[in-house]
Structure 1
Amino acid sequence: MKTFRWIVATGWMALSVWGADVPARTVPWAGRPLTLTEALNWALAQNAEVRKARQDLEAATGVAIQTRAVALPRLEGNAGYTVREQGGVEQFPVPGLPIQIPNDNWSAGIRLVQTVYGGGRLTSAWRSARLTEQQARAAYDTAVAETVLAVRTAYADVLLAAEMVRVHEASVQLLEEELRQTRQRFEAGTVPRFNVLRAQVELANARPRLIRAQNSLRIARQQLAQLLGFDVPSEFSDDLPLEPADHLQPPESKPDLAAGLKQALNRRSELAMLRHAESLQAEAVRQALAGYKPALEVFAGYDVHSPTFRDELDRGIGGWLAGAQVRWSFFDGGSTRGRVLEARSKQERVRVELEDLRRRIELEVRTAYSRLMEAHEVLASTAKVQEEAEEALRLAQARYAAGTGTQLDVLSAQTALTEARSIHVQALRDCVVAQARWERAVGLPVMEAESQP
């Protein structure tokens, strides 16, 4: 069992290159094998789902900044210039006083405004901003976990397809050797032509299975490349030069269902997402209830304007100002009551979703446990069958060479061996994938995942 504690220096660029998204690239591994760890690193850096989740995380950071801004002071500035027709300005001549109301004026000012009491809105805004970021982080972790599972499964499928090609190539080689020996015996007059025809038919039947296995390998490579976020160059019209460096190896550790259930309820990012959503709805209720309470703002600033009773546009009159303002809506037509009702209903809905998700995750863990145990048992059984099939072929060939066996015995043993090898390789892949799904079900952290190709 190969253990990798993913340093993911490339993959976790997801956390350090926000805003500098990585475009899809052409395959860089041509000419060298690709390990599972490298595949995971590439996927965490370039997979489309991870990149979209990274942008969602950055967008949530922007939402949190907007939410937090409600509790912060505002610095506002204003300026204006107005001109009227002279006939539209009423004059008030006072004997002995030089009063002349101008037909144009200007004003400017700056003001610092701070809400000091909002009925609970301010503290709720800070909590909501923090919860929004945490919820987005949990959503990102979910996307990463799903991508890791998909890549591990696709990598195992490539290994399975490659092993299947080797199994069927070995079968074809065995049948070619059987045909060669049968022809020699026929030429020596020890066997009839029927034996040659039977060997030719068996060989012809084996070649389509090899062709299908080779095509499955091509498709598996392309699916893995798509998950890694690479554009397949047009020059690779037939097959990708993607060779896995690892091998199918069964996991050594056996799962603990009770510990897995407890771990899943504590670590699954989907549950964390809904817990944060429930807390956000609780804050929405507090903010809605704040509509029943007054809001107090204080402000300070400086205003300057042109003279009101003198036609001196180039002169400014200004000074400092400060004050406070209270707003209290005594009747809003039921708007606040409606917002409270809406927020409480959404909060209760999230609670129901959380309970349902907890049950579904428990079912997922139990299902993953059952399938992993089944995979271990099937793998142990197929390993023994493969050994027996190899021994049966050896005995059949020895008996046939000694003249006590038949060609049918040899061909049947060869077919049984090919089937046993195919079933064993499939069982290996199923065991590896079942382990990956178990680790995903219990919420094993990506950085601590222990797995095998």
Structure 2
Amino acid sequence: MTPLNSFQPAARLRPLSFALLPLLLAGCMLGPDYTRPDVARPATAQAALPRADQAGVVAAAPPSQWWRELRDPLLDELVDEALRNSPNLRAAQAKVVASRALQRQRRAEQLPSVGAAAGYANVQAPDSLNDSVRGLGENVAQVAEANGRPQEAAQLRQQFADVDLDTELYVVGFDASWELDLFGRRRRAAEQAAAEAGADAAALADAQVQLAAELTQVYLSYRSSQQRIALAEDNLRAADEALRLSRQRRERGADSDLQVERAQAQREQQQARIPPLRAQADEARDVLALMVGREPGALDGRLGQGAELPVLPARIAVDDAAALIRRRPDIRKAERELAASSAQIGQALTAYFPQVTLLGTVGAGAGSLSDLGSDSAATIVAPFLRWSVFDFGRNKARVAQARAGNEARMAAYEGTVLAALQDANTALARFGAARQQVQATTRAEASATRADRLMQQRRQAGAASQIDLLDVQRQQLDAQDGLAQAQLQLLVRYVALQKSLGLGWQEAPEAAVSR
């Protein structure tokens, strides 16, 4: 026979095991534990983006507020103002506030819920019920009299006559409930809420990236329109002068009507260039006002004075693919959405298992406030189990939906990463091509300037006419206009490059998310 003391350690551990069982079960979570997928490994292993060499950039970490590299104080002011006041950004910030509040709610749902209740009831019985009670008392009294107990019959009549069915009831109590998260349903819900809050924060950052880039492009287009308007007006004055000279020469018989009509046509063509440029400038001012949260025309005073196009920074930094993937907000948003869909699988799987909720109530009830005390107290403790044993495949379908949704999010994440890498490399290639275009148009403008200088020398020597000089000057102004467009295109490509790198965002301010 086994000695009794050999069972003592097991007997001591058994109560401890039962006590630890809820804690052990609470550590169980169904569904896959999310890990960030490794996508585009060959690209992230490279030291630089493939198209970086042809763009003339340097391998370094780029600045987040890249627009400050253009050294334009007014542009800096407009971008800062837009990041503070843009209606689109305020809407995205409100969504971040809501998602973070939901995240706090999901965390709180893992804890017990405790409430308090108090009540008062005044019950007025109907007269018919009082009459029925008194009639019952009379019947009982008559039975007592028939049995020879008149004194007892009189007492019964008095007692039933004194019965008052009207009453008051006072009730106070506390109740609590707690769902035991045995299989991780609540924790997976909190995990999903945290991932969705991260996705909304990334969406806000992406909106900041888009806004900074779009505003800078509109601002650059506006400055270029101003510059091109000035060149067009100079060209128009040259065309007016050429037309005046052609008319004088016709009057002296040196030119024909054909030459005058040609000069007239050139003058009208030049005149037609100006209205579209002015309309572009007006539209750009109104778009900038909208971006900073102002009404049309609000920025006309600040933008009215002409200014040169900003100068491209001499050193443009671009880092590698791995840094780009970590930084781009649209990739971060897709990755957080993937994490949220992974948590949904665990939540769907928990429906196969029972949900256990502990319910408890401590209260007291009495007919008067003075009677409320320990004698009127009542306590209820009840575990409540809910388990859908037969659901005819509904939960299986939910699990299948969650898994398919996760696969779709995985594909979307991979596609976002690959599209971001393609976007950055395309931006680098276009930026490099724009640099070459500026170099070519710069040479063309320099050649047109030299031609103008040589023609002026010939005009002073009497070897060329004034009309020949004006024609060369018109060609020079056209070359200058082409150079201005090429310079704008280069700056626009620079902005597109910064946008493709995912630059220009910042964390949501705490003041905005703690309201």
Asked if Structure 1 and Structure 2 have the same fold, meaning a TM-score greater than 0.5 normalized by the shorter chain, the answer is yes
1:363 to 422, 441, 446: 422
What is the CA-CA distance between 1:397 and the residue it aligns to?
A: 2.6
Query: Is 1:274 the counterpart of 2:338 in the alignment?
Result: no
1:261 — aligned with what? 321
1:159-190 deviation per Cα after TM superposition (whole angstroms, max 9, x unaligned): 11011012112223444555677789899x79
What is the CA-CA distance between 1:146 and the residue it aligns to?
A: 0.8
Cα contact 1:114–1:298 (8 A) shared by 2: yes
2:94 to 42, 45, 55: 55
1:194-213 pair list within 5 angstroms: 202-213=266-277
2:371 — aligned with what? 315
Stretch deviating more after TM superposition (263-272 or 133-142): 263-272
What is the CA-CA distance between 1:270 and the residue it aligns to?
A: 1.0
2:364 — aligned with what? 304
1:15 — aligned with what? none
1:319-334 pair list within 5 angstroms: 319=377, 321=379, 323=381, 325-329=383-387, 331-333=389-391, 334=393
Stretch deviating more after TM superposition (320-329 or 58-67): 320-329
- Which secondary structure does the structure 1 equivalent of 2:303 belong to? coil
What is the CA-CA distance between 1:125 and the residue it aligns to?
A: 3.4
Cα contact 2:444–2:479 (8 A) shared by 1: yes
2:291 — aligned with what? 227
1:229-280 deviation per Cα after TM superposition (whole angstroms, max 9, x unaligned): 211359x9xx665247663323433575xx4533332211111111111111
2:123 — aligned with what? 83
1:20 — aligned with what? none
Would the alpha carbon gap of residues 419 and 279 (structure 1) be closer, same or farther in structure 2, given more than 3 Å must change? same
- State the AA in 2 paired with 1:327: L
- State the AA in 1 paired with 2:236: V
Cα contact 1:63–1:132 (8 A) shared by 2: no
Q: State TM-score, norm by structure 1.
A: 0.78
Stretch deviating more after TM superposition (363-372 or 170-179): 170-179
Q: State TM-score, norm by structure 2.
A: 0.69
Query: How far, CA to CA, are the matches of 1:52 and 1:150 in structure 2?
Result: 18
- State the AA in 1 paired with 2:296: V
Would the alpha carbon gap of residues 288 and 181 (structure 1) be closer, same or farther in structure 2, given more than 3 Å must change? same
1:350 — aligned with what? 409
- State the AA in 2 paired with 1:123: R
1:74 — aligned with what? 113
Query: How far, CA to CA, are the matches of 2:358 and 2:164 in structure 1?
Result: 33
What is the CA-CA distance between 1:436 and the residue it aligns to?
A: 0.9
Query: How far, CA to CA, are the matches of 1:177 and 1:171 in structure 2?
Result: 10
Query: How far, CA to CA, are the matches of 1:293 and 1:274 in structure 2?
Result: 31
- State the AA in 2 paired with 1:315: D
Query: How far, CA to CA, are the matches of 2:315 and 2:95 in structure 1?
Result: 36
- State the AA in 1 paired with 2:74: T
Stretch deviating more after TM superposition (247-256 or 219-228): 247-256
1:306-361 deviation per Cα after TM superposition (whole angstroms, max 9, x unaligned): 26xxxx68633543636351424151414433332222221111111112222222
1:422 — aligned with what? 481
Would the alpha carbon gap of residues 66 and 416 (structure 1) be closer, same or farther in structure 2, given more than 3 Å must change? same
- Which secondary structure does the structure 2 equivalent of 1:119 belong to? coil
Query: How far, CA to CA, are the matches of 1:253 and 1:447 in structure 2?
Result: 23
What is the CA-CA distance between 1:149 and the residue it aligns to?
A: 1.1
Cα contact 1:255–1:369 (8 A) shared by 2: no
Cα contact 1:34–1:245 (8 A) shared by 2: no
2:303 to 239, 242, 253: 242
The two structures, once aligned, show a CA RMSD in angstroms of 3.9
Query: How far, CA to CA, are the matches of 2:82 and 2:409 in structure 1?
Result: 32
Which consecutive residues of structure 2, in runs of 5 or more, have no partner in the other structure? 1-61, 138-151, 508-515
What is the CA-CA distance between 1:56 and the residue it aligns to?
A: 1.4
1:160 to 224, 233, 242: 224
Query: How far, CA to CA, are the matches of 2:396 and 2:166 in structure 1?
Result: 49
1:252 — aligned with what? 314
Structure having the higher helix fraction is: 2
- Percent identical among aligned pairs is 21
